[in-house]
Chain A
Amino acid sequence: MSDNYSNDPMLDMFIFETVQLIEQLEQSIIEIERSNCYTEDSINEIFRVMHTIKSSSAMMHYENISLIAHTIEDLFYFLREEKPKKIDCLKLTDIVLESADFIKHETDKIVEGRKSDGDGSELIRRIKNYLSRLKADNSKENAEKGKSPSKNEDTDSISEDSSNQINLSDFLQQNYKAVIYFEEGCQMENVRAFLVINNLKEIAEDISYVPEDIIDNDGSIEIIKNNGFWISFKSDRSYKEIHEFISHNVVFLKEFELYETKSDGHQQLSTDNQNRKDLQDKEKIEEPQFVSTRQSIISVNVHKLDKLMDLVGELVISEAMVLQNPDLNGLVLDNFLKSARQLHKITGELQDAVMSIRMVSLSATFQRMNRIVRDMSKKLGKDIRLELIGEETEVDKNIIDHISDPLMHLIRNSVDHGIENSEVRKAKNKPEFGTITLEAKNSGGDVLIIIKDDGRGLNKESILSKARRNGLIKKPEQELTDKEVYSFIMLAGFSTKEEVSEYSGRGVGMDVVTKNIGAIGGTVSIDSVEGEGTAITLKMPLTLAIIDSMTIKTGKSFFSVPIISIRESFKAEDGDIIIDSEGNEMIMIRGQCYTAVRLYELYGIKTEIKNISDGVMLMVENDGKAICIFADEIIGEQEVVIKALPGYIRNLKKIRGLSGCTLLGDGNISLILDVGDLITSLEEGRMKI
């Protein structure tokens, strides 16, 4: 794109729209494959998608993308116009998907700020091959039926004799002659010439022109470019009027010459009428029946939403600062309180509204899985159907970004390891095709995503023996519940599948899933019945930006602990503390021993309260592991807006156990404890701050 208007919003828009279109395209392809035929609507849609991408990418000067899109567009143009009977659907689908992948890959590059340098020529060659075979088949078929093949759009060849076809004597008989030259780069000179003729009909008749075949032959473009467009016509207007008419009504006019001759008597050239007939035939072509299902939406940069969310967070905090202002204590303020309630109501509603803007439905993420299942089952020779339930469920945009990788991994696992071959399935009296269900639903403030397959299920014995070998079992085997056994597969470095296939088992295991889901405050649990299938449930909060937390105090510092990780809080006695051989403090609760951590020691905070009995204990857990935290006192439960720790603190030193900070209603800063990280760092060895 020329420099004048190549700036970021344009690129953003281009990428946004292209990615959306490609997703839409993939979706239609998957549906087509299911119904096993290309309907008129779907052909139209693919044509239109490719058409749009072609134009936009050409505007942005991504020629490689534009070329691919153009080639596919040509292919679908042919399909739409000729409606060939014999289509190799499978091949066609592969080609389209491959092109979609190419475009996706290139846009990814652009997003990452790299050059879009993918070479699509090999792919284009294949598409063209496919198209020419299709054309050959089609014309053969038509010929067999005794029908002549209809004209193709391909008019690359330049006809050599197009200028010779004119009958010169006819041409010379008109009373006016004009030679028109168009500006360079105006494109489609032949159509422009036609436009001139069309306009000229208002004031002239018996028009003939050279080159004659401007409609059917694109070779005429070159002739017009080199020799100009010659027109001869009859008109009763004066020379001046015609001169004015041409200079006014011809767009991209570079120069023209107009001559008046006095002769009369001429022959109407038949070209015109024929053209009209041609066009009338073509009028039938595009009668759109397809109804777009796109919603009327606007796209907003996520950063702006983040900013808005931030501001609303600040607003909530300032509101608390005003309403809970210590200066107000003891005053009778009826009117103030009335207005304050109103303010509180509105900020609450505003917060909900902003949150809902950030909510995105899971459908795009879910739909992407269709493609994975399709590609994999084809390669592995399995027959698998993917059922999507509750894809309209909405979650925060941030969460979506975090779950697509884990979801993909889980789906791959199910396809690769879960679902058996159809022979095995037949032998087991199961339906020949496997089913994977991907379900999303709301439950309280959480979203559940369930991935279920009807495959072979998990083998408890092999998990146990592997766990034994790796020394993962920490308690007597007979006490392990099924869930606990299954959860071994989520531990780092655990994989029961010895061999590595193309799709899964590349060393990135379930532990990555657990980690990713854990990073957004979610949990993973597994249910399975051997021989019948496995269900994996991901439980995640609806949003990340605002969390329910318990605020505790140590010395003059405040800490916020996410409610989701608190198991209980209690008062302990000094005597409950046990010191292990390494000098670490432990506490015994209901026969279980937990590590006890004094926050003031951990973070070097000055406090008066050092006796266990004077303060309070908070048992927090993550991933099934729990520790007890000792603090001075509990301040209370409140919703907090998470803010990142300032960069200079993060860059200075990696501080373990903190995920961010927040502002409390009274203006104090509270640090948000990252329980998972805290536990890990304790396991890695007593940390030193």
Chain B
Amino acid sequence: MKKVLIVDDAAFMRLTLKKILEKNGFEIAGEAENGDIGVKKYKELKPDVVTMDITMPIKDGVQALKEIRTFDPDARIVMISAVGQKPFIYEAVMSGAKSFIVKPFEEKHLVKVLTQVLEM
């Protein structure tokens, strides 16, 4: 099973992601409520893929993405974004995000993105 790390400051979002992913045969390696913890957990858990929220306290998702990419250039990170965050997604994409998905998303879309990113 592929291990996923969920980074999101909203507990609701983490729960939603977790439910969908577990249902679709992913293993939740861990959860983090901000970018800072996300980076630490990435080092510790070495997940196959990360879902990364953008707007978070302490350290935002784009920043966390950049940091993770410094020590693991192959990291597979999917940004979870809201409508209207285009500039940040561009930045994330430039910094090596594998893909992104826009909230509110549909279950099948999320699963598809992660599956495809894992195949890359």
Q: What residues of chain A have their CB less than 8 Å away from a CB belonging to chain B?
A: 1-2, 4-5, 9-10, 13-14, 16-18, 47-48, 51-52, 54-56, 58-59, 61, 70, 73-74, 77, 153, 185-188, 190-191, 194-195, 198, 215, 218, 248-249, 251-252, 275-276, 279, 282-283, 285-286, 288, 290-292, 299
Other contacts beyond A52-B10, A299-B11: 6, CB < 8 A: A61-B104, A191-B89, A194-B90, A252-B109, A282-B90, A291-B58
Return chain B residues, CB-CB under 8 Å to A187. 83, 101-102, 105
Report whether A251 and B57 are in contact in the complex, using a CB–CB cutoff of 8 Å: no
Query: Does B29 interact with chain A (Cβ within 8 Å)?
Result: no
Q: List 7 A-B contacts (CB under 8 A).
A: A2-B106, A2-B107, A14-B12, A61-B104, A188-B81, A275-B90, A285-B87
Tell me the B34-54 residues at the A interface (CB within 8 Å): 34
B73 → chain A closest CB, angstroms: 12
B55 touches A48 (CB 8 A): yes
Whether B84 pairs with A73 at a CB distance below 8 angstroms is: yes
Which residues of B1-47 have CB atoms within 8 Å of chain A's CB atoms? Answer: 9-13, 15-16, 19-20, 23, 34
Complex A-B, nearest 5 residue pairs according to Cβ-Cβ distance, in ascending order = A58-B104, A187-B102, A292-B57, A251-B99, A55-B103
Q: Which residues of B contact A275 (CB under 8 A)?
A: 90
Query: Is B58 within 8 A of A249, CB to CB?
Result: no
Q: Judge whether B87 and A279 touch: CB under 8 Å.
A: yes
A55 x B100 contact (CB < 8 A): no
A5 B103 Cβ-Cβ under 8 A: no
- Scan B80-120; emit 1 where CB is below 8 A from any A CB, else 0: 01111011111101100111111111110100110011011
Contacts A2-B107, A188-B89 known; A10 to B15 CB distance under 8 Å?
yes
The interface residues of chain A lying within 8 Å CB-to-CB of B34 are 292
Task: Assess the A185–B106 pair: CB atoms within 8 A.
Answer: yes
Q: Decide: A17 and B10 in contact? CB cutoff 8 A.
A: yes
Query: Which residue of the partner chain, among A4, A47, A198, A299, contacts B93 with CB atoms under 8 Å?
Result: A198
Please give the number of chain B residues whose Cβ is less than 8 angstroms from any Cβ of chain A in the complex.
49
Q: Which residues of A contact B99 (CB under 8 A)?
A: 195, 251
Are A188 and B106 also in contact (CB < 8 A) when A10-B12, A55-B10, A198-B94 are? Answer: no
B59 CB within 8 Å of chain A: yes
Cβ–Cβ contact A191 & B90, under 8 A? yes
Q: Which residue from A13, A55, A61 sits with its C-beta under 8 Å from B82?
A: A55
Given A70, A282, A288, A291, which contacts B60 in the complex, CB threshold below 8 Å?
Answer: A288
Q: Measured between alpha carbons, how far is A285 from B62 in the docked complex, in Å?
A: 11
With A10-B16, A252-B113, A292-B57 as known contacts, state yes or no: A77 contacts B100, CB within 8 Å.
no
- State in angstroms the CA–CA spacing of A557 and B19 once bound together: 53
Contacts of B101 in A (CB 8 A): 187
Whether the Cβ atoms of A5 and B20 lie closer than 8 Å is yes
B104 touches A59 (CB 8 A): yes
Shortest beta-carbon distance, A397 to chain B, in Å?
19
**Chain B 55-82 per-residue mask, 1 if CB under 8 angstroms from chain A, else 0:** 1111110110000000000000000011
* Selected contact of A59 from candidates B9, B23, B59, B103, CB within 8 Å: B103
The distance from the CB of B81 to the nearest CB of chain A, in whole angstroms, is 8
Once the chains bind, are A59 and B16 in contact (CB under 8 Å)? yes
Task: Give the distance to chain A from B118, nearest Cβ to Cβ, in Å.
Answer: 11
B78: min CB distance to chain A, Å: 9
Q: Is there an interface contact between A4 and B107, defined as CB atoms closer than 8 Å?
A: yes
Do B117 and A251 have beta carbons less than 8 Å apart? yes
Task: Write the chain B residue with the least CB distance to A20.
Answer: B11
Contact B88 A215 (CB under 8 A): no
